[in-house]
Structure 1
Amino acid sequence: MKKSLVLASVLSLSCGFASAQVVVKDAWVRATVAQQKATGAFMQITAPRAGRVVAAKSPVAGVTELHEMSMENNVMRMRALPVLDLPAGKAVELKPGGLHVMLMDLKAPVAEGQTVPLSLTVEYADKSRETVEVKASVRGLGAATGGHDHH
């Protein structure tokens, strides 16, 4: 009896590793003000095996892109990224002033207390893909501003 329980436990654990999924934690979107057409989404993404985010989308925005902020010669620059690398088992932090998801051409303002749905497409070396559905809470304008608000 004990042997079969141990075997069942080992099998269930091994199945869990085989189907491990990308984990997204602490997802949030910065609230907007009237007439503001863009905002950022931030989160921690951990992939069980090396991969990369190849697409992001949200029904609240006409355009959703991966972006990076960086300092170059004392000037903050932002650029779109074609992909976002995810090293195996290591959290990648998207935060104000660094890597983030840009939500542009907003269809309506996003207000504190709302939830914004996002879909991230992760591709692995074997070309298999996983879609991660994220529910990001909207935080007020004072939330970790990081020095940039996109107007």
Structure 2
Amino acid sequence: MFHRRLLLGALAGLGLATAAAAHSYTAGDIAIGHPWSRAAPAGITGAGFMTFHNTGSAPDRLLSARAEIARTVEMHSNVQDGAVMRMRPVEAIEIAPGQEVKLAPGGLHLMLIGLKQPLTKGARVPLTLVFERAGEITVELAVEAAGAAGDQHAH
């Protein structure tokens, strides 16, 4: 009985390790960490968050993103305009050599405009990122609760 519990515990641990490892990606010299989103109903706009780390010696840029779940995906930043915080589209997201760029609530982020279906807590949503040098990679956004801050995605 003890050996069976030990084996089941080891297998469960392997599953957790695999799941955690599967949520980090690499495209060329760009390491992509913990892509996530907040739960949202269909028909509105959702958001995508993650980190990029350029491990190479040349700069790279995120040029665009797309997802089947959204009519379009745009890259945005938040900028202070007097007393009001406003979102502004950006043409590209620069990632200098050795630099980490964080897409997070209140900062740079991806807008999933015109959701065709809801972003449901616990789901994984495919999102394709297009980098200037690293090329294309499809990652999965882990959908969290509607008010999630993403703190559980610390490195």
* Length-normalised TM-score, structure 1: 0.75
Instruction: Tell me what 1:44 maps to.
Output: 51
Instruction: State the Cα RMSD in Å.
Output: 1.8
Tell me which amino acid in the other structure corresponds to 1:40: A
Tell me which amino acid in the other structure corresponds to 2:99: K
Distance 1:115 1:96 in 2: 19
Distance 2:93 2:135 in 1: 14
**Percent of pairs identical after alignment?**
32
Instruction: Tell me what 2:35 maps to.
Output: 27
Instruction: Tell me what 1:11 maps to.
Output: none
Distance 2:83 2:50 in 1: 26
Larger Rg: 1
Matched, 1:102 2:111: yes
Q: CA deviation at 1:142?
A: 1.8
Q: Which runs of 5+ in 2 are unaligned?
A: 1-26, 151-155
Mapping of 1:131-150 within 5 angstroms? 131-144=136-149
Distance 2:83 2:95 in 1: 28
Q: CA deviation at 1:43?
A: 0.3
Instruction: Tell me what 1:75 maps to.
Output: 84
Distance 2:52 2:37 in 1: 15
Judged with a 3 Å threshold, the aligned counterparts in structure 2 of structure 1 residues 28 and 96 are, in CA distance, closer, same or farther, namely same
Distance 2:74 2:109 in 1: 9
CA offsets per residue over residues 51-101 of structure 1, 9 Å max, x none? 101111111101101111122211010011111111112110000010001
Q: Which runs of 5+ in 1 are unaligned?
A: 1-18, 146-151
Maintained 8 Å contact 1:70/1:97:
no
Instruction: Tell me what 1:57 maps to.
Output: 66
